[in-house]
Chains A and B, each alone.
Chain A
Amino acid sequence: MTRFILIALSLLFLGLMVILPVIAIFHRAFADGFDAYRAAILDPETLAAIRLTVIATLLVLPLNVIFGVAAAWAIARFRFVGRRVLLILIEIPFAVSPIVAGLCFLLIYGAYGPVGALLEPYGVQLMFNLTGIVLVSAFVTCPFVMREVLPVLMVTGEDEELAAVTLGANGWQIFRHVVLPNISWGLAYGVVLTMARAMGEFGAVSVVAGAIRGQTMTLPLQIELMYNDYNATGAFAAATVLTALALVTLVLRGVLNRFGPKKEAHA
């Protein structure tokens, strides 16, 4: 009986709080029919926003992957002074609210910030453009790859890498042939999380993007713009794109959980 009540309550809570809003997105997007939806998606400004979002994400991704793998490797395989500090620093972005994060970047890299002012005479502007979007996106997604790769490295241990060392492999060969295949699943999920978050970041990006129509509007910003312009179909149509992306993320997570390597016995 308790079991039944608890399950029912849980389903009710999740249904009302989580599932219903998602259904509402699709309902509103298609409220004026499929043609209106199509027209909204194909709106030049929306397409430009999608393009910018994809470009920014493709720039953030390699940054984060290289950093995440490098940091996970150093932390998992070596003991050095400041190892714990590094771990904490990487986790900081989780604790910082998006607007505060955006403000931080503006205060240092903006035209009035110490670093921004230094670069200004050379005509280098970091904020209110694609660079700014990429930088804050790198901040908000900072721990994602590292967090997924580190535990995998911990679980696999260093034996295979040491074996490769005794067989004469150099650093790159060890990474390419031994480490990378071992961390591939964790890395893949880290990439998925980074992508989803980078594409969807709103608060931090809205501080540093500069909101120039058709130029520095990412998809979430474009959604806000259209929503405030009373273009509900446009906003919700664009939202379905990001919602689909979120659902794909969840499916991938499920797939990786199910088919990814379990903590298999040591070979």
Chain B
Amino acid sequence: MTAIPRSTPRVLPGLSLGLGISILFVTLIVLLPISGLLWQLAQLTPADYFRVMSSERVLTALRVTLTAAAAATLINGVFGLMLAWVLTRYRFAGRGLIDALVDLPFALPTAVAGIALVSLYDRSGWLGSVLDKFGLQVAYTWWGIMIAMIFTSIPFAVRAIQPAIEELDPDEEAAALTLGANGVQRFLRVVLRPLMPSILTGVGLSFVRSMGEFGAVIFIAGNLPYKTEIASLLILIRLDEFDYPAAAAIAGTLLLLSVILLVAINLAQTRMQRYLRAEG
């Protein structure tokens, strides 16, 4: 028996309008620009690409960017976890204010953050002058880059970890206590392990953000080629020289790195969650 196929009319209105607007916007604002980069990349031969990428200046810029981002991420992982823990588990005066201030680096324009940080860590600044007494210099060095990256990405770490701590069951900690687990064991087994997926997410987002950060970093970085030049700035310099292929090669590499990272985080997260659920 063959029923005459009829398309069923939709009950709620607005699918075609909503979808139409979405597709138009996403095409013009997201898809086309990204494909512009891919199109430029496609015009590069592999040899061209490797010539650009293997130049000493590019390699240094990538190394500076990635190592500073990694260091910033590590610090944000530790302090992000701590802040998230303190904000969800403890009640103290000013907690609400602190909670709100965690988002400040996200809300503050990056250029503003940049000049604020450099004015603080410059030799004449409040912190810079103190550090100078110990012969330490942060501004215009790799350390400055790292500080700027910590600043802009700390909210991502905290906000990714916070909900997971809220969901932790305090009873399990208590149970571990009655079973005689000491503090460290308890923390590692009962607290850290279920938090791992969200810590990973927070840390990953923080790294991706740090890797691409520009405004906050360039003021404090010093921007010396072969020393304190970040990859984003090098893209801009190549652009000003109208060397679009080189700019596209570096940008494409950065983009690919962040996409790979985000996909990896996503995969690892689902897998770990499945594993943890199977265990529990």
Identify the A interface with B (CB < 8 A): 2-3, 6-7, 9-11, 13-14, 16-22, 24-25, 28, 63, 66-67, 70-71, 73-74, 77-78, 80, 86, 89-90, 92-93, 95-101, 103-109, 112-115, 135, 138-139, 142, 158, 161-162, 165, 170-171, 174-175, 196, 199-203, 206-207, 220-221, 223-224, 227, 232, 235-236, 239, 242-243, 246-247, 249-251, 253-254
Q: Tell whether B177 is near chain A: CB-to-CB under 8 Å.
A: no
Q: Which residues in window 188-206 of B have CB below 8 A to A?
A: none
Select from chain B the residue with minimum beta-carbon distance to A257.
Answer: B100
User: Contact between B102 and A97 (Cβ–Cβ < 8 Å)?
Assistant: no
B17: nearest chain-A partner, CB-CB: A70
Task: Find out whether the CB atom of A24 lies under 8 angstroms from the CB atom of B119.
Answer: yes
Q: In this complex, what residue of B is CB-closest to A16? A: B127
- Measured between alpha carbons, how far is A112 from B43 in the docked complex, in Å? 13
> Provided the pairs A67-B21, A223-B111 are in contact, do residues A14 and B116 lie with their beta carbons within 8 angstroms?
no
Chain A binding site: helix, strand, loop or mixed by DSSP?
A: helix
Chain B contact surface mostly = helix
A109 CA / B30 CA spacing, docked (Å): 12
The answer to whether A254 and B232 touch across the interface, beta carbons within 8 angstroms, is no
Complex CA–CA separation, A135 to B23 (angstroms): 16
Is B96 located at the chain interface by the 8 A CB criterion?
yes
Q: In this complex, what residue of A is CB-closest to B104?
A: A18
Asked whether B170 is an interface residue with its Cβ less than 8 Å from the other chain, the reply is no
- The 3 closest A-B CB pairs, nearest first, are A97-B212, A200-B109, A108-B36
Contact call B108/A80, Cβ cutoff below 8 A: no
CA distance A10 to B81 in the complex (A): 10
A10 to B214, CA, bound (A): 26
Instruction: Report the minimum CB–CB distance from A99 to chain B (whole Å).
Output: 4
Contacts of B233 on A, CB cut-off 8 Å? Answer: 99
CA A171 to CA B11, docked complex, whole Å: 10
The CA of A63 and the CA of B28, in the complex, are separated in Å by: 12
Interface bits B61-103 vs A (CB < 8 Å: 1, else 0)? 0000000000000000001001101110010100010101111
A178 to chain B, nearest CB (A): 11
With a cutoff of 8 Å between Cβ atoms, the chain B residues found around residue A175 in the complex are 14
CB of B251 within 8 A of CB of A99, answer yes
Q: Chain A residues with Cβ under 8 A from B185's Cβ?
A: none
Given contact pairs A70-B19, A243-B108, a sample of 15 additional A-B residue pairs in the complex whose CB atoms are under 8 Å apart = A7-B90, A19-B104, A71-B26, A73-B14, A80-B19, A98-B215, A100-B254, A107-B40, A108-B36, A113-B36, A138-B29, A161-B12, A171-B13, A196-B107, A253-B103
Residue of A nearest to B187 (CB): A2
Chain B: residues with Cβ within 8 Å of the partner, total of 83
Across the interface, B30 reaches (CB within 8 A) one of A17, A20, A89, namely A89
Instruction: Assess whether B33 is in contact with A139, with CB atoms less than 8 Å apart.
Output: yes
Contacting pair B239 A103 (CB below 8 A): yes
Of the listed stretches B48-56, B160-168, B255-263, B269-277, chain A binds: B255-263
CB-CB under 8 A from A242, the residues of chain B are 108-109, 112
Whether A254 pairs with B96 at a CB distance below 8 angstroms is yes
Residues on B with C-beta less than 8 A from A24 are 116, 119-120, 125-126
Q: In the complex, what residue of chain A is closest to B118 when comparing beta carbons?
A: A227
A196 to B103, CA, bound (A): 12
Binding site for A on B (CB under 8 A): 10-15, 17-23, 25-26, 29-37, 39-40, 79, 82-83, 85-87, 90, 92, 96, 98, 100-105, 107-113, 115-117, 119-120, 125-127, 147, 150-151, 154, 183, 208, 211-215, 219, 232-233, 235-236, 239, 244, 247-248, 251, 254-255, 258-259, 262
Residues of B within 8 A of A28 (CB): 119
Q: From the candidates B14, B17, B90, B212, name the one contacting A98 in the complex (CB within 8 A).
A: B212
A19 neighbours in B (Cβ, 8 Å): 101, 104
- Do residues B116 and A77 form an inter-chain contact, with CB atoms below 8 A? no
Q: Which residues of B contact A20 (CB under 8 A)?
A: 120, 126-127
* Cα–Cα, bound, A126→B97 (Å): 43
Which of B85, B107, B183, B251 has the most chain A CB atoms inside 10 A of its CB? Answer: B107
Q: Which residues of A contact B151 (CB under 8 A)?
A: 17-18, 21
Q: For the complex formed, measure the closest distance between the CB of B80 and the CB atoms of chain A, giving whole angstroms.
A: 10
A70 touches B22 (CB 8 A): yes
Measured between beta carbons, the chain B residues less than 8 angstroms from A106 are: 36, 239
Chain A residues contacting B36 (CB-CB under 8 Å) are 104-109, 113-115
| Alpha-carbon separation in the docked complex, A129 to B52 (Å) | 30
Q: A6-B90, A10-B82, A25-B112 are in contact. Are A202 and B98 (CB under 8 A)?
A: no
Given A98-B214, A106-B239, A158-B12 contact (CB < 8 Å):
yes
Partner of A89, one of B26, B79, B101: B26
CB of B31 to closest CB in A, whole Å: 7
A135 near B108 with CB under 8 A, answer no
B14 proximity list for chain A (CB < 8 A): 73-74, 77, 171, 175
